[in-house]
Amino acid sequence: GAVVSQHPSRVICKSGTSVKIECRSLDFQATTMFWYRQFPKQSLMLMATSNEGSKATYEQGVEKDKFLINHASLTLSTLTVTSAHPEDSSFYICSANLAGGRNEQFFGPGTRLTVL
């Protein structure tokens, strides 16, 4: 199956700093990637849809100036958490759509962000 990677897998940062998370489709091109956030023992919440070459579409309640998304190529999308605070600590997961009509998404392994 298609492989999606994320980097880093874990990051610990001080409050007020910015953190960039990368999501890559390794063996396929993804015109659309998705970013999710998952708090402990909760489900995945879609944050935004990242479209190659255009602005991301954010879900209601997600601050676009705080969670910057860039999808500059068909294999890479980045999520930058700006001025991170402890409440931003979470598990961030990306996924990429495999084109071809199955609407099946392939998920990255996730990035654990801890803000001190």
Partner 1 sequence: SQQGEEDPQALSIQEGENATMNCSYKTSINNLQWYRQNSGRGLVHLILIRSNEREKHSGRLRVTLDTSKKSSSLLITASRAADTASYFCATFLQGAQKLVFGQGTRLTINP
First and final C-alpha spacing in the chain: 37
Does 112 help bind partner 1 (rule: CB under 8 A)? yes
Residue window 21-50: x/- pattern of binding to partner 1, with contact defined by CB under 8 A: -----------x-x-x----xxxxxx--x-
Is 50 exposed, middle or buried (CB count within 10 Å of its CB: 0-12, 13-18, 19+)? buried
Q: Which stretch binds partner 1 (CB under 8 A): 11-19, 21-29, 69-77, 95-103?
A: 95-103
| CA angle centred on 84, ends 6 and 21, rounded to 5° | 15
Residue corresponding to tokens 């579409």: 57
Residue 115 CB, shortest distance to partner 1, in Å, is 17
The amino acid occupying position 41 is: K
- Footprint of partner 1 on this chain (CB under 8 A)? 1, 32, 34, 36, 41-46, 49, 91, 93, 95, 102-110, 112
